[in-house]
A and B are shown apart, each in its own frame.
With several copies, the nearest count.
Chain A
Amino acid sequence: KEMTVRDALNSAIDEEMSADPKVFVMGEEVGQYQGAYKITKGLLEKYGPERVYDTPITEAGFTGIGVGAAYAGLKPVVEFMTFNFSMQAIDHIINSAAKSNYMSAGQINVPIVFRGPNGAAAGVGAQHSQCYAAWYASVPGLKVLTPYSAEDARGLLKAAIRDPDPVVFLENELLYGESFPISEEALDSSFCLPIGKAKIEREGKDVTIVTFSKMVGFALKAAEKLAEEGISAEVINLRSIRPLDRATINASVRKTSRLVTVEEGFPQHGVCAEICASVVEESFSYLDAPVERIAGADVPMPYAANLERLALPQIEDIVRASKRACYRSK
């Protein structure tokens, strides 16, 4: 059986809304328009305007309202049309949501999900292509999830909605239409994935490739190519950037002794940098080669198709870096 990421997300929200009357959806165009990317399709019709709220284009205002509703015990699922626009509301995500439980010593918890497409889409230019994984994942009090497959999308979104803490849920527009095999278990309405646990997507013994979101697909393709050349790559899908599953990453590197990290976002202070630091801290003596990093180019996203391609990690970059890690040239 197969399912698209879009349907996985849609069904996850649908099921959680049906299970818990405190769950509601808000955001720009999520209702009548069915969602700019149709993730919330059918929800308005099914649950009515008391559960599905179209907001004006005022991220600070509606995010603040969402967080306030969560203070009072509701479970909002707030859509950002893209995470680029979350910058307008970031103070509420950080100062009003992430820190409240701590500042109030546990009085005010904030069961809210902020979700939407994150990172680069295709041809949308510098202001619409940023990846916010590292920013949000740097903040204690937040949980940051990054699904890759349909199973990830369903299992993690359902877990996020049920979670009593604020969750930043970073999707990828280019994955919405992709189909993935899905198990019966994952289709069950009780299905949930554990927050904070990475998934080993492919086992291997020569090199560990750690990544998340769309790049998991690229890493898997790179692993296939590497296999053709006799290199056995283990691919780790982080699923959760915060909490970060340091144990799984380090266990894998202790086995393979080689690490390649991959992300689409800007490199400096990124997710890759943290993974490198974590492995150097915990498994330094196991490392047989420098940690390799493949990331978005250190420039704003250009529009032109050829430049855009150069600005984003490609499968061959992952292959090349993996070979370097294994001291194989060409």
Chain B
Amino acid sequence: TDTTPITIETSLPFTAHLCDPPSRSVESSSQELLDFFRTMALMRRMEIAADSLYKAKLIRGFCHLYDGQEAVAIGMEAAITKKDAIITAYRDHCIFLGRGGSLYEIFSELMGRQAGCSKGKGGSMHFYKKESSFYGGHGIVGAQVPLGCGIAFAQKYNKEEAVTFALYGDGAANQGQLFEALNISALWDLPAILVCENNHYGMGTAEWRASKSSSYYKRGDYVPGLKVDGMDAFAVKQACKFAKQHALEKGPIILEMDTYRYHGHSMSDPGSTYRTRDEISGVRQERDPIERIKKLVLSHDLATEKELKDMEKEIRKEVDDAIAKAKDCPMPEPSELFTNVYVKGYGTESFGPDRKEVKASLP
């Protein structure tokens, strides 16, 4: 692998609140650039495939796609280690992939199969990978932020020199529990990094209709913050590195990632009633996070257009294969209905809908 150092300038300067912003020059390597391209393209392809599976009724319920926001997942992952923890909301497929999860686990979970990362019991919104410090996958808007601060609490308690990134949306940014958790984190100097993925809409509500102040990086008041171009993976990487250092030394910090979701909020939302098609295509043309990396790859002569096309073909096949395999995977055993309710069930009885017909002794 080619690890020749490359320095890349972020597209935009950082805007800082109560801190000095990091440099715009980001250290990278040819390998990293190519990796960024590949992983982001994989994420994109995966989400598009999930869309099709949903339309084919193979995925049920809610399904929130991440396409458009890939640079956040990628840049964050590039700045940290697997000892650093991540927690997010329901838009969690790509974060899970970034933490080392496999396509097979993802598609199996989405289709409710045994091999799913939550054995089919969680569904789209509830992915986890504890071994690489990914704590989910949460369905209640805002709840993951105090939870993330709690993980940071444990890291500090255990003197682990690691930090936690708690991701939330611009809609979630108004949730009171976020302010409560921030105050406690600041009082206790927890290594918590609050990452506001500002994709400018919470479901169908534009940020300015939900937030009196949409300067999310400043909403911590007494907590420092940084506004970051969330469509630029290198800006994200730089900001996350900076934030990690800050969090370890001084406690919590907020990163506002200016980003965009191409899809509707979830599958029932066409995503086009509260914003114009022009707005969406404008972002695609001017700010697409993959295109940006692609241009860098080409301008640094790290690959040809052809090679990138081939890579994309490969990715497509990888995704198709994973889907095919997942489709073959069986649904969970009926007995799984009663597992994992508790770690220790003490052998007490649990019941199905007709308790005289279906009963289980909890392990």
Contact = CB atoms under 8 A, between A and B. Distances in A.
Find out whether A and B make contact in their complex, taking CB atoms under 8 A apart as touching.
yes
Contact of A103 (B122, B151, B155, B181): B122
B222 interface: no
A100 B62 CA distance: 18
A85 B205 contact: no
A227 interface: no
Nearest to A53: B188
Contacts of B87: 68
B36 interface: no
A72 B210 CA distance: 25
B153 A68 contact: yes
Nearest to B113: A304
B353 A104 contact: no
A100 B340 CA distance: 9
Contact of A102 (B146, B341, B353): B341
B343 A72 contact: no
10 contacts: A32-B209, A56-B184, A56-B187, A65-B147, A68-B147, A72-B153, A125-B61, A125-B126, A302-B337, A320-B354
Interface string A47-62: 0001001111110111
Contacts of A67: 146-147, 150
A305 B110 CA distance: 11
A84 B150 CA distance: 23
A230 interface: no
B151 A104 contact: no
Contacts of B59: 123
Contacts of B121: 102-103, 105, 126, 302-304, 307
A53 B205 CA distance: 12
Nearest to B357: A320
Interface in A283-330: 292-300, 302-307, 310-314, 317, 320-321, 324
Contact of A101 (B129, B209, B332, B341): B341
B353 A294 contact: yes
B60 A123 contact: yes
Interface stretch (B21-29, B167-175, B236-244, B290-298): B167-175
Contacts of A62: 146, 180, 184
Nearest to A166: B342
B181 A243 contact: no
Interface in B175-229: 175-177, 179-181, 183-185, 187-188, 202-205, 209-211
Interface in B343-363: 343-346, 348-358, 362
A69 B274 CA distance: 29
Interface string B121-163: 1111110111000011111111101111111111101100000
B165 to A, nearest CB: 13
A181 to B, nearest CB: 27
B126 A69 contact: no
Interface stretch (A9-17, A88-96, A147-155, A231-239): A88-96
B180 A60 contact: yes
B342 A101 contact: yes
B80 to A, nearest CB: 16
B273 interface: yes
B268 to A, nearest CB: 8
B337 A65 contact: no
B34 interface: no
Nearest to A300: B341
A33 B183 contact: no
Interface residues of B, number: 93
Nearest to B185: A65
A122 interface: yes
Question: What is the predominant secondary structure among interface residues of chain B facing chain A?
Answer: loop
Contacts, number: 316
Interface residues of A, number: 90
A126 B337 contact: no
A61 B348 contact: no
Nearest to B135: A71
Interface in A252-284: 267, 281
A69 B334 contact: no
B154 A69 contact: yes
B336 interface: yes
A91 to B, nearest CB: 6
A321 B353 CA distance: 10
Question: Which of A60, A68, A196, A307 has the most C-beta atoms of chain B within 10 angstroms of its own C-beta?
Answer: A68
B211 to A, nearest CB: 7
Given A68-B153, A307-B334, A125 B122 contact: yes
Contact of A305 (B331, B340, B353): B331
A299 B332 CA distance: 15
A125 B123 contact: yes
Q: Which 6 A-B pairs have the closest CB atoms?
A: A68-B150, A64-B146, A61-B180, A123-B60, A123-B61, A303-B123
B340 A68 contact: no
Contacts of A127: 125-126, 138-140
A303 B126 contact: yes
A311 B112 CA distance: 15
A296 B350 CA distance: 11
B338 interface: yes
Contact of B118 (A69, A104, A321): A104
A326 to B, nearest CB: 14
Nearest to B354: A317
B180 A58 contact: yes
B94 interface: no
Interface string B43-82: 0000000000000000111100000000000000000000
A305 B154 CA distance: 36
A49 B47 CA distance: 36
Contacts of B281: none
Nearest to B118: A105
B35 to A, nearest CB: 27
B85 interface: yes
Interface in A104-148: 104-109, 121-128, 140-141, 143
Contacts of B362: 243
A265 B99 CA distance: 36
A141 B338 contact: no
A32 B175 contact: no
B274 A33 contact: yes
A164 interface: yes
